[in-house]
Amino acid sequence: MLDEQVLFLGNGLYFRYPEEILKLLRVMNSAEYLTDGRVYECWLVDERGPQSFASDCLEKQTSLLIWGDSHAATLFPGLRQHYAPASVGQFTRASCLPFSAPTASEKCKTRNAYALAAILSAKPDTLLIYSVWSRYFPNWSADSAQGIALATELKQLATSGIRHVVFLGSPPDWQPGLPEALWAEFSKTGRTPDRLFDHLQLHEASEQQLKKLVEKAGVKYVSLIDLLCNESGCLTKVPGDRGDLIAFDYGHFTAVGAKFVIDQLVAKGEF
């Protein structure tokens, strides 16, 4: 088993690395996100597990529900800290946009149809819709097939009686992933910066299309790019002394990162 304090190199030498680099290794080898995101319960992943959502993914006392793909699932730990467990609902399916996209697989269509019907019936006080939108389609114009399909669903939700329908835009897209980006910076400079513009895609054009489309449908759009990025770059770590990474790959939040993001959204009154 690899010792957390050293890396064994091919020439037989041991080199000690600072704690900030060991954090990268821990994140890259951790599976905490699976448990924290309720995998195989309210986060359906693959054919090895159940293909239906567990009964407690949406309960009578649910006041807030998050609907989306695996990126939405990794936000669940942040929501759980602000609400009683039974009041937070979750319908998330890996690699499935939370609407009937024109290229959706049958498994995505089936789970989305179930989720939409359950949401319209239960009418939670707040519905969060989240995905890494710009990785699925680069074009979200109002006349694109995916834009038309998304707008149709959002209009239905906006007039359904749900008090707050909130659409979260795509997160920063790290290339190829945040741990690798920080390792590259450390290799060049001997440090891992708190913010970066390198190794990053922000998909500004498609996010602007999404914002226009979502707001025209009568739904609130919240930009995660605006939340996490400024003129100095996008956050790589959760602010504070611990230096925990905000994401464990190109865009899925760590549990600590999810808590930070939800803290910031709640503090700003976004939902």
Helix, coil or strand: residue 7: strand
For 168-195, how does the pLDDT look when each residue is reduced to its tens digit (9 = 90+)? 999 999 999 999 999 999 989 988 999 9
The 3-state DSSP class for residue 144 equals coil
21 vs 160, residue with greater confidence: 160
Residue 169 burial (CB < 10 Å; 0-12/13-18/19+)? buried
Report which of residues 3 and 16 the model is more confident about: 16
What are the residues whose beta carbons fall under 8 Å from the beta carbon of 196, sequence distance 6 or more? 181, 182, 185, 233, 234, 236
The span from the CA of 97 to the CA of 194, in Å, is 31
**Three-state secondary structure call for residue 103:** coil
DSSP per residue over 18-67, as a string?
-HHHHHHHHHHT--HHHHHTTBTTTEE-STTS-SS--GGGS-TT--EEEE
> Which domains does the chain show, CATH number per domain?
33-267 (3.40.50.1110)
CA 143 from centroid of its chain's CA atoms = 26
The per-residue pLDDT for range 80-122, each reduced to its tens digit, is: 988 877 799 999 999 999 998 989 999 999 999 999 999 999 9
**Beta bridge partner(s), residue 128:** 66, 166
List Cβ neighbours of 139 (8 Å cut-off, separation of 6 or more). Answer: 146, 147, 206, 209
Q: How far apart are CA 207 and CA 167, in angstroms?
A: 12
Given pLDDT bands bounded at 50, 70 and 90, which one contains residue 13?
A: very low
Q: What is the DSSP letter of 156?
A: H
Residue 247: beta bridge partners?
A: 253
DSSP structural state of residue 100: -
What the block records as the tokens of 188 is: 């060049």
The one-letter amino acid at 171: P
β-strand pairing of 200-201 with 173-174: antiparallel
- Sign, CA dihedral 257-263-269-271, equals positive
Worst-scoring range by mean pLDDT, 26-40, 43-57, 72-86, 250-264?
26-40
